[in-house]
Structure 1
Amino acid sequence: MKPTPEGLTLSQSRREKALDVKIVTWKENDPDDPRNWGFGIKWFRTVIVSYTCFVVAMGSSLVVMDMEKSAAEFNVSIDVIHLTVAVFVFGFGIGPLLFSPLSEIFGRRPIIVVSMGLYFIFTFPSAFAQNAATLVVGRAIAGLAASAPMTVIGGCIADMWEARERGWPMAAFSGTLFVGPCLGPIIAGYLTVEGWRANYYLLLGLAGSATLAPYLFLPETYAVVLLRRRAIALRKETGDEGFMTTQERFRKPFAEVMKTSLIRPLQLLVTEPIIFLFSLYLSLIYALLYLLFFAIPVVFQEVHHWSRGSTGLAFIAVLLGMLGCFATLIVWQSKYVAAGKPNAPPEARLPSMMVGSITLPIGFFILAWCTYEDVHWIGAAIGCAIFGFSMIGVYVGANSYIVDAFPEWASSAMAAKTLISRLCGGAIPMFVDRMYHSRMGPRWSSCLLAFISLAMMPIPFVFFKYGARIRAASKRSSE
C-alpha cells in the first residue's frame, strides 16, 4: 500500500484522522519519568540492579576452587568439570540475544525478575547433582537464565540517568561484573573445606536474594513501556482511542519485532566499527579475567607453594587494583563533566580506557617475570593488582562509550558486545591450564597475553581522535 509522506499507509492515515491522534509523551518535569526520580531513589535502584549482576558474576567463579574434588566424586576428568565454568559463561553471551529484545518489548523489570528466578531454580540441579552430566547441564541452563542482567542493566541505567550523570552509576554496574568474579575464589578457597557443594549452597542463597530484591524494590524504568501504560490508562478513562505513544502509532507485528530485535545485535556487531572493535577489546579483558582463575593457582600454589585456601587470597591484589581504579574515576568523571555542557561527547568517556590500555600489558609482563620460586610473591601480586586497575579502566570507559554512542540501541549494543566477550571468556577454561603447563610455561604464557594486549592498545586512542567522524558516518550512533 502506498505510504503517506509521514511514513504511514493510507489506511493508517485515514484511521488516525478519524481518531484525532494525541501522542502520549513525557511532560516537563514529569514525576513518572525515571530521569526525574530523586537522586537517592535512582542510586538505590541502581544498587538493586547492580546487585543482580554481582550475584550472577560471582556465580561464574565461586565454583573454580578445588574442582578436583567434584571430578574425583564423579570419576571424570578435570576437563569435564572445567565445563561448568565454560558453559555458564557461554550462557552469558547467548542469553542476551533473547532477553535484550524482550526487555525492549515488555520492559526491564519483568525480564530481570524472571531471569533471576530461573537462575535460582536451575542452580538446584548443580547443587544436588549425582553425576557430572547433571552438574554441567544445570550450569549451562543457569548461565543462560542469568544472562539478562548483564545487558538489561545497562539499559536500566540509561533509562534513569542523564548522560552527564551516568559515569558513576555505570562504574558501579561495571564494577560488580568484575568484583563478583574476584570475590568468588577468595570465598571459595576456604569454603571448599566443607566440600565442593558448599559453594553451590551459598550460590543458591545469593540467587534467591537477587530474585527478591528487584521484585520488591525495582519499578519499571523503560520509558516506552511506561508511556504505553499511560496511554492505555488514558484510553480507558476517556474512552478516546486516539491516545497512543509513538511506538503504538508505528506498531509492528510482534513476530516482526522479535525477528528484528534478535538480529539487531548481530547487525550492530558486523556493521558498526565501534561495536566490533570495542567488543573485541572487551573480549580480551574477559578472557584475561577468566584466565586468572586458573593461572593464579599455577603461579601461587605451584611456584610459590601457597595452600589452596591461601591461593584464593591472591585475588585480593586484583580487588585492590580495581578499588584503585574506582578512586581515579572521580577524576575521569570531573573531566567528563567539564568536557561539555550540558552534554559532553561520548569520546570524553575514553581517557580511563586509554590509561588502562597502557597499564594492562605492563601488569602481565610483571606477572610473567615474577613467576619464579626465588622471586618474592609480592611481585606477582603487583602484576595482578595492575591488571585489576587496567580491567576496570578499560571496561568502564568502553561500556560508557558504547551506551553514549548508541543511546537508543543501548540494550542491543550491550547484547552484541556481551555475546562475543562471553564466548571468548568461556573458551578460556578449556585450554588455559594446558597452556600454563605446556613448554611455554607460566612466564611465556603471560608474556603472550601481554603482547596481545599491546596489539589492542591503540583502539581507544584511535576513537578518541576520530570517534566523532566515525559516529557521523553511522546511521545508528548519536550525533
Structure 2
Amino acid sequence: MTGQTINYDAIPGNTNLVDLDGSMAARHSSGNKKIVLIPTPSDDPDDPLNWTPRRKWMSMFCVVVYTYGVGIPSAAIYSVLTNISAKTGISLGDLNSGTGYMFLFFGLGCMIFQPLALQYGKRPVYLFSVLATALVCIWSPYCKTNAEWIGSKILQGFVGAPIESLCEISVSDIFFEHERATGMSIYGLALLTSNYIAPVVAGFITNGMEWEWVMYFCSIWGAVAFIFLFLFMEETNYNRKVNPVKVLEAITSIDMVAESDMNVSSDNEKINPVLSNKTVEERLGNINENFDTSDEVEYPKTSSRTWVEKMSFTHGLKSKFLLPHYLLGPFKMLFFPSVLWAGFVYGSSLVWFNLLNATAGMILTAPPYNFSPSMVGLSYISPTIFSCVFFFLSGALSDWMKVFFAKRRPDGLSYPEDRLWILIIYMVLGFLASIGWGVGAYYEKHWMLLVISMGVLGGCGIFGVAAGVTYCSDSYHELDTEGMVVVIVIRNLMSFACSYGLTHWVTNMGLKNAFISSACILLFCNGTFLIMRYTGPYWRNKTKHLYWKFVEENRKILED
C-alpha cells in the first residue's frame, strides 16, 4: 500500500451500490449488472468473496453448526430451571444470575478471542470454542452451590464468546454488501432457534431421566459439532490483493457525498464519484487495509487447493505478530456514536429474550396452566416457528431496501441507515407480544394467547441482529471486526445488567405492570432508529477524519 493516500473527506459507510447508467469502472454482480460488488473482490478463486455458491453456503452452514454447538448448551436449562432449583437448592434468582454472568462473559470474551482469530485464524478459534464448551457442560451437573454454578457459567460464557461476534465477521468475509443482511439473518436465525429448540428437548430429557442428562447430551452434541467443523470448516481470513489498473474501486473512497446530500449543510455540491478528477491511487486510497495493490497477481480461474490444504490451520495466520494491536483496536471504536447505538439496539433485543426465558417456567408451570417441564419445553416451538417467519422479513427485506433506496438516489448512493426501517415491525409486534405474554398471564387467559405472544416476542429478536450488526458493518466496514467487539460487549453488558434483576423485577412489580413497562421500553428502544436514521449521517460525517486516521494507523502497523 506504499504511496496510497487516505481520502479524509470520504464519509464512511456511503457507497455507490447501484450503477444506474453503467458508467462505473467497477466489478458488478453477475445476477444484477447494476449492483456494484462491495468490497471489490480480487481475481483469486480462493478469495472468500469469489468462492463458488456451494463453497460459500458450506461455510455458512459451518457457522450455523458452530452456533448450534455453542448455543444449545447455553439455553438448554431454560425449561428446567425449577427442576434444577428443587434438586440443588439454588434459588431461581441465583440460577438466572448465573445466566446473566454467562452472557456477560460471552461479551467480554470477545475482547480476547476476536484478536486471537485475527492473529492466528478463525478456524482454530472456532474449533477450540466448541470443544471447550462441550467439556464445560460436564461440570454443570456437579454444581451444588451458587458459587460453583456461577463459576461454571462464567467459564461457559468465556469459551463460547466467539458465537457472539466472530460469526458476524465470518459472514462479512464471504458476502457482499448487498447480500450481507441475508447472511446475518441466517446466523441470527441459528442463534435464536438454537436457544429455542434446546429447551424443547431438555424438557423431555428431564421428564424421562434427570436434568443432569440435559448437560451430558449437550456435551455429546458439542463433540459432534467439533468433528464436523474439523472436517468441513474453511478459514475465511484472507489478505486481499486488488490490481488498481484492472479494478477501479467504486466504494467509500470515491463516494464523496457532500454534506448537503447528508442533511448537514446546503453550501457544498455533491462530488460525482465517477467523474471527479482523482487519480487511481487517490480513488483506491480508502480501501480496506488488508488490500495490497502494489503488484498485479495472476491467479488460476478455479481453486487448485486440495481438501487437506483447505482445512489447513495456517491459512489465517499472520506472519507478523500484531496481537497487542488487535487487543487495543476495539477501544478506538468507542468514539463512534453509530457503533454505540448498534450495540444498544442489539442489546435491547437480548433483554426481552432473557426476560422471556426467565419467566417462561415461572408462568407456565404455575396455576392455572400447570405445564410439566416437557410442556414448557414444547412451548419454545412457538418462538422457533416465528423466528423462521421473521427471517424473511429481516434479512431479505433489509437487503432489498438497501438496493431500493440506492436506485432512487443520484449515482446509486446507499447509506447504512437505509436498513433500519425494518425495526418498525419489531416496534409494533414486540409491543403487542409483550402485553399478550405478561398481561395475558396476569388475567389467566388461554394458554394459546401466551404461547403465540411468546413466539412473536422471541422471534422478533432476529430484527435486532439484522439491524444492529449489519448497520455497524456497513458504517465502518474497514474496522468492522473491532466495531463488532464493541457492539457485542454493549449488548451483553445490557443483558447482564437486566438478567441480574429480572426475577426481582417481575416478582416486585407483578406480571401485569412488569410487562406493560417492558412493552413501553421495547417500543422506545427500537423507536430510537428514527433518531439514528436522521442523525446517523451527521455523526458519520462528523467523525470521518478520526475514522480514517484510525484506518491509516492500522495500515502503517500492517506495513511496517
C-alpha displacement at 1:454, in angstroms? 2.5
Please give the secondary structure, in 2, of the residue aligned with 1:224: coil
Match of 2:378? 313
Say yes or no: does 1:339 pair with 2:408. no
C-alpha displacement at 1:284, in angstroms? 1.6
Please give the secondary structure, in 1, of the residue aligned with 2:131: helix
Please give the secondary structure, in 2, of the residue aligned with 1:124: coil
Say yes or no: does 1:474 pair with 2:489. no
Match of 2:130? 116
Match of 1:166 among 162, 173, 180: 180
TM-score by length of structure 1 reads: 0.82
Match of 1:248? none
Letter in 1 for 2:228: A
- Range with bigger deviation, 208-217 or 364-373: 364-373
C-alpha displacement at 1:5, in angstroms? 8.2
Match of 1:217? 232
Match of 2:524? 455
C-alpha displacement at 1:400, in angstroms? 1.3
Match of 2:326? 261
Match of 2:34? none
- Range with bigger deviation, 89-98 or 354-363: 354-363
Q: Deviations over 1:334-353 (max 9, x none)?
A: 33333337884322322222
C-alpha displacement at 1:45, in angstroms? 0.8
For residues 55 and 368 of structure 2, what CA distance do their matches in structure 1 show?
Answer: 48
For residues 200 and 363 of structure 1, what CA distance do their matches in structure 2 show?
Answer: 31
Q: 1:303 to 1:364 in 2, by over 3 A?
A: farther
Letter in 2 for 1:367: W
Please give the secondary structure, in 2, of the residue aligned with 1:220: coil
Match of 1:292? 356
8 A contact 2:80–2:361 mirrored in 1: no
Say yes or no: does 1:188 pair with 2:202. yes
8 A contact 2:202–2:214 mirrored in 1: yes
Please give the secondary structure, in 1, of the residue aligned with 2:194: helix
C-alpha displacement at 1:203, in angstroms? 0.8
Please give the secondary structure, in 1, of the residue aligned with 2:460: helix
8 A contact 1:353–1:395 mirrored in 2: no
Give aligned-pair identity as a percent.
19
C-alpha displacement at 1:187, in angstroms? 1.7
Q: 1:70 to 1:376 in 2, by over 3 A?
A: closer
Say yes or no: does 1:97 pair with 2:167. no
1:83-162 to 2 correspondences below 5 Å: 83-129=97-143, 133-162=147-176
Letter in 1 for 2:474: D
Q: 1:453 to 1:130 in 2, by over 3 A?
A: closer
Q: Deviations over 1:208-257 (max 9, x none)?
A: 122222221122111139999xx9xx9xxxxxxxxxxxxxxxx9984xx4
Letter in 2 for 1:333: D
C-alpha displacement at 1:389, in angstroms? 4.1
TM-score by length of structure 2 reads: 0.71
Letter in 1 for 2:400: S
For residues 143 and 155 of structure 1, what CA distance do their matches in structure 2 show?
Answer: 19
C-alpha displacement at 1:262, in angstroms? 2.5
For residues 337 and 431 of structure 1, what CA distance do their matches in structure 2 show?
Answer: 42
For residues 503 and 490 of structure 2, what CA distance do their matches in structure 1 show?
Answer: 22
Q: Deviations over 1:340-367 (max 9, x none)?
A: 3788432232222232133322221232
For residues 258 and 304 of structure 1, what CA distance do their matches in structure 2 show?
Answer: 56
- Range with bigger deviation, 154-163 or 81-90: 81-90
8 A contact 1:164–1:344 mirrored in 2: no
Match of 2:471? 401
8 A contact 2:342–2:471 mirrored in 1: no
Say yes or no: does 1:29 pair with 2:35. no
Match of 1:417? 487
Match of 1:47? 61
Q: CA RMSD in A?
A: 3.1
8 A contact 2:189–2:388 mirrored in 1: no
Letter in 1 for 2:222: A
Q: Which has the higher contact order (CA 8 A, sep 6+)?
A: 2
Please give the secondary structure, in 1, of the residue aligned with 2:328: helix
Structure 2: runs of 5 or more not aligned: 6-39, 242-289, 298-317, 552-560
C-alpha displacement at 1:143, in angstroms? 1.6
For residues 331 and 27 of structure 1, what CA distance do their matches in structure 2 show?
Answer: 25
For residues 417 and 450 of structure 1, what CA distance do their matches in structure 2 show?
Answer: 23
Please give the secondary structure, in 1, of the residue aligned with 2:77: coil
Match of 1:353 among 423, 439, 446: 423
Matched positions, count: 434
8 A contact 1:303–1:373 mirrored in 2: no
C-alpha displacement at 1:34, in angstroms? 0.8
Q: Deviations over 1:79-100 (max 9, x none)?
A: 4433442332222011100111
Match of 1:282? 346
Letter in 1 for 2:185: A
Q: 1:386 to 1:58 in 2, by over 3 A?
A: same
